Structures are given as structure tokens and as C-alpha cells.
Amino acid sequence: MQKTVHIIGAGISGLSAAVRLADANYRVHVHEATQQAGGRCRSYFDAATNLTIDNGNHLLLSGNRHAVAYARSIGTEAGLVGPKRAQFPFVDLTTGQRWQLDLGDGRLPFWLFDEARRVPDTGLMDYLALTPLVWAAQSKLVGDAIPCKGTLYERLVQPLLLAALNVDPPEGSAGLAGAVVRETLLAGGQACRPLIARDGLSAVLVEPAIRLLQDKGANIQFGHELRQFGMSANSVGELKFGDGAVAIAPDDAVVMAVPPRAAASLLPGLKTPSRFRAIVNAHFRFDPPTDMPPILGVVGGLVEWLFAFPQRLSVTVSNADRLVDMPREELAQAIWRDICKAGGVRGELPPWQIVRERRATFEATPEQNALRPGAITNWKNLFLAGDWTDTGLPATIEGSVRSGNRAADLVLAMRQA
């Protein structure tokens, strides 16, 4: 008989669990509180720029193998585009110096031994000083594991770890940073090719999943917020929504894939991360010059990464709590000044939009990392997913997909038990 699973939340975690279980012939019900799937990874039409934009520029690396496999499973791997080699052009706005980090395309980090491919003015010893990060304990700070100053730090380690952890690197979890370094820099250029959903996050990572689920007979309800669980003995017996309750049989399963604050209020007593950091993205309607790279790393400015899309220049600023209350126009002007310098473009401020995601990610500090629960709960048919669960990675699409897969695997194991 076909088994039933209810997925609460249609972000990437919930969708990846749903796709895996639909593939395993489950009758899938997805309940999403808002009117749109994708959660923190979504696109929408923006009237100010007259363009469809993403809530944030999301960068994947080719070593994010679960995220890439998820895209493959919904038929959109080809929508994740990037250069053939792991090359990262950078500019330093304080000195005007430009360079390209060339991690090559191999399985081993041979680039470390080639001065021309390393960060300028760095030597092999600088890189060897990073080794304590590779297997650092979860409880350790990045700042206690490696030197957080000097040329290599400023030009590579800081931009990489800031993007990955969304906190100032010295205060970040060395355990999480180590996982990122192991799966990217240490895995050679082959794992570091940047990948972008150039046609938009929703078009590549969200809508095709919804279509696939619907084609497989899944029932997807938007505007359907779970308000409360009804527990019976050691399992979930009922899901209570604003428009009524749904009975859950003991061998039906539930995957809760909502953000930590919602999870903690639905499951009182659940330990979750409680502190978050913002990410600010700014989008400008502007045709990028033809020689502008798709992704440019920027150091020494407000902007950290500059992305060139058709008709649009877009920037990301991580760990951005300090910018959340800054007047929008002032912020747009400041960012545009950085873009002009970094991208070598000129002109008055074009149509723009600023997107401030206040709780973009949980704070990737050792203290908050220790609050992440696993996927198993005290209720035998209820499993957790989400980038904030204990994935071993910071809050990323890769972590989200891993968490969704893990929850789905536990649902499948329940069937076999």
C-alpha cells in the first residue's frame, strides 16, 4: 500500500525530502505557510528594477554534490552554470590591485605549489598555517585555530569563510569552517567551480521540483501554515492548520522543514539555534560590460561579491546586521560607488532594489552550532530537516539538501522497520 508523508515547509530542505520520497512512491503532501515555495532561496518580480530577481545571490560550488544531485533529480543540473575551471577573479578596492585565483580542474590542490595560481604575495607556508582548521574541533573558534591576519587571510580566507559562515571569520566555528575547507579548497579545483542558477533560483531549484511533485500526484498547499502538532503516545497523531486538522496514522510520516524559530514554537522544548545574521543583496538594472566576469570577489570595500547577470549587476554583503537599519537610498549609493570601482563601470545610480534578509542564516559560532538538533525526534514518525539542523555544514543549500535527504532516508527506514 502507498505510504503517506506530510512535509511542512517548501524551502529547499522540504523540497529535497519531498522529491526523494515521491521518487520512492510515497503519497506526498506539502504544506507551505506562504504563497510561494523556495523559502530563503526564491525569485520574484521586482517592480523597481522591472526584473525578476532572487532574494539573494546564491553561489554553489561544484563540490556541493548533494545540491548538484538534487538539481539533477529535478532535471535542472544544466541550469547551474559556471566556468569550466575554478577561477576566481578578485579586486582590492583599496589598492586597485587585481588578480585571479586559479584552482585548476584537478582532484588535488596542486595550485598551492604554483606561485602564478596562488593569491599574489603569498607563499606555501601561509597555506600550511591553515592546516589546523582542517580537522578542528566543533567547539573551537576560527580565530583560535588559524592566523586571522595577513595577506592570505585578507585576500582569500576572509572572503571565503565570511561567505560560507556569514559571521566575521575569527568568531566563527572552526569545525564548520574546516568542513567547508575539506569539501572545497582541499578537494582541488574540480570541487571549487562556482555555479550559479543564472535563470533564477526559482526557475532552477524550486519550480521544477514543484512540477515534478505535482506530476507524481503530490498535493501541494500554499497558505497552509501548520499551527500545532497533536501528539498521541510517541507519535504525531494530528496536524492542526488554520482551516482544520489532518489525522496522521502511526505509520504515516511527517518531516518538519521550517526555520528554527517556527520549529521551536511548534515543538516546545526543542533545542535550536537562536541567533541569526543578516545578508544584504543589492540589485541594479544595468547591462554588464561584455568583459565583466560572472563573479568578481571584492576586498577592501562594502561589497564582497559582484555578480553579472543579463541586464543586472548584483552584490552580496554577508554578516550585514550593521546595514539593516541604514537608509536604503544611502546604502544603494554606497554600493553603486563600489560597483563602479570594482567593475570599471560609470553612470548615475540605475534602478535598484535592496533586499535585506534579517535572519538569513543561523549564527555559525561554536555556541550556536552546539544547539543544532539531529533529524530524529522523540516522536517516531516525526523527522526534522532544515539548514539549521545538525548537518555538519553552515547554513547553505548543500546543508539543506543533505538535511532533506537524511529526513527522507529516515522516513524510508521507518517503512522497512
In whole angstroms, the minimum distance from the beta carbon of 34 to ligand FAD comes to: 4
Least distance to ligand FAD, CB of residue 274, Å: 15
Which residue, 100 or 221, is less far from ligand FAD as judged by CB? 221
Q: What's the min distance (Å) between Cβ of 389 and ligand FAD?
A: 8
What is the three-state SS of the chain?
Answer: CCCEEEEECCCHHHHHHHHHHHHCCCEEEEECCCCCCCCCCCEEEECCCCEEEECCCCEEECCCHHHHHHHHHCCCHHHEECCCCCEEEEEECCCCCEEEEECCCCCCCHHHHCCCCCCCCCCHHHHHCCHHHHCCCCCCEHHHHCCCCCHHHHHHHHHHHHHHHCCCHHHCEHHHHHHHHHHCHHHCHHHCCEEEECCCHHHHHHHHHHHHHHHCCCEEECCCCEEEEEEECCEEEEEEECCEEEECCCCCEEEECCCHHHHHHHCCCCCCCCCEEEEEEEEEECCCCCCCCCEEEEECCCCCEEEEECCEEEEEECCCHHHCCCCHHHHHHHHHHHHHHHHCCCCCCCCEEEEEEEEEEECCCHHHHCCCCCCECCCCCEEECCCCCCCCCCCCHHHHHHHHHHHHHHHHHHHHC
Q: Give the nearer residue to ligand FAD in terms of CB position, either 58 or 155.
A: 58
Q: How many angstroms separate the CA atoms of 104 and 85, rounded?
A: 6
Q: Considering the complex, what minimum distance in angstroms separates the CB of residue 164 from ligand FAD? A: 8
CA distance 173 to 99: 29
Minimum CB–partner distance for residue 348 and ligand FAD (Å): 26
CB count within 10 Å of CB 379 equals 17
Q: How far is the CB of 12 from ligand FAD (least distance, A)?
A: 4
Q: How far is the CB of 239 from ligand FAD (least distance, A)?
A: 9
Nearer Cβ to ligand FAD (76/361): 361
Instruction: Return the number of the residue (118 or 159) whose C-beta is nearest ligand FAD.
Output: 159
**What gap in Å lies between CA 254 and CA 191, rounded to an integer?**
34
Q: Which is nearer to ligand FAD, 112 or 164 (CB)?
A: 164
Closer Cβ to ligand FAD, 38 or 288, answer by number: 38
List residues binding ligand FAD (CB under 6 A): 8-14, 31-34, 39-41, 55-56, 58-60, 225-226, 257-259, 262, 279, 281, 357, 360-361, 386-387, 395-398, 400
Q: Report in angstroms how near the CB of residue 125 gets to ligand FAD at its nearest.
A: 31
Cell of 417: 522497520
Choice between 14 and 178, CB closer to ligand FAD: 14
Nearer to ligand FAD by C-beta: 61 or 339?
61
Choice between 345 and 371, CB closer to ligand FAD: 371
* Minimum distance from residue 142 beta carbon to ligand FAD (Å): 19
In the bound state with ligand FAD, the residue whose beta carbon lies nearer, of 148 and 257, is 257
* Minimum distance of ligand FAD from residue 397's CB (angstroms): 4
Yes or no: say if 50 and 21 are a contact pair by the CB < 8 Å rule. Answer: no
